[in-house]
Structure 1
Amino acid sequence: MVSITETQKIGVGLTSFGLFFLLFGVLLYFDSVLLAFGNVLFLAGLAIIIGLRRTASFFFQKQKLRGSTFFLGGIALVLFRWPVIGMAVESYGFVLLFRSFFPVVFGFLSSLMNIPYFNVGNMSSMV
């Protein structure tokens, strides 16, 4: 089992609040203050979870520089009160940055379908 430190728990909380504020900012018609606050919390939480050095090395790898530029540029646009354009640019950068993680996430989500009571396709056998 993976042990998590108290500092990393704080980072998970900050990241969760960041994602909440991002979602809430989008639901409230791209409220720039909520989106900016969510971006700051998300990046702070990410830096606390994996550390400042590893965060910087992740964002500034040569092959991920284009995605980092779009992602951080989108955050800057949101901070400069261009929320719709900023979120579009940030989303494109997010996809470029984390596209190598998508197969892992989809594999995990497909493994959830093998858990009883989550398997929607096999509901007739439960009745």
Structure 2
Amino acid sequence: MIEVTDFQKVGVGLTGFGLFFIMFGVLLYFDSVLLAFGNVLFLSGLAVIIGLRRTFQFFFQRQKLRASTFFLGGVALVLLRWPIIGMAVEAYGFVLLFRSFFPVVFGFLGSFINIPFMNSLFTKLSGSSNTMV
């Protein structure tokens, strides 16, 4: 089992609060201050969880450079108080950055959720040929 240090637990907390503030900022009609605060907390939490070097290597890989540009450009636009355009650019960059993780997440959700319709939907989204119900 992977051991989680106290420092990484703080990172998970920062990331969680960042996601909360981003969701709350979207619910309050794209409040730029909440979105900016959420983005800063999310990125700092990510850096605390996996480390500064690995965060830098993740965002600046050659094949992910365009996605990172969109994501970090969206964060910059939100910080410059253009929240709607910034969140749209950031969402596009997020999808490009993490598109390789989506089949894994959908596969996990399909095995975790035991609702027949949802299970078959997540199985199709994950690309799995497993037809167990």
- TM-score, scaled to structure 1: 0.90
Q: CA RMSD in A?
A: 1.1
**In the TM superposition, what is the alpha-carbon distance from 1:49 to its structure 2 partner?**
0.1
Structure showing greater Rg: 1
Q: Which residue of 2 aligns with 1:14?
A: 14
Q: Which residue of 2 aligns with 1:27?
A: 27
In structure 1, list runs of 5 or more residues that go unmatched: 114-118, 123-127
Q: Which residue, 101, 113, 120 being the options, matches 2:115?
A: 120
Q: How does 1:73-88 map to 2 (within 5 A)?
A: 73-88=73-88
Deviations 1:61-105 (A, max 9, x none): 000000000000000000000000000000000000000100110
Q: Which residue of 2 aligns with 1:125?
A: none
Q: Which residue of 1 aligns with 2:129?
A: none
Q: Distance in 1 between matches of 2:55 and 2:2?
A: 20
Q: Distance in 2 between matches of 1:18 and 1:57?
A: 21
Q: How does 1:38-117 map to 2 (within 5 A)?
A: 38-113=38-113
- TM-score, scaled to structure 2: 0.86
3-state SS, counterpart of residue 3 of structure 1: coil
**In the TM superposition, what is the alpha-carbon distance from 1:2 to its structure 2 partner?**
1.4
Q: Distance in 2 between matches of 1:121 and 1:108?
A: 15
Aligned residues: 117
**In the TM superposition, what is the alpha-carbon distance from 1:120 to its structure 2 partner?**
2.8
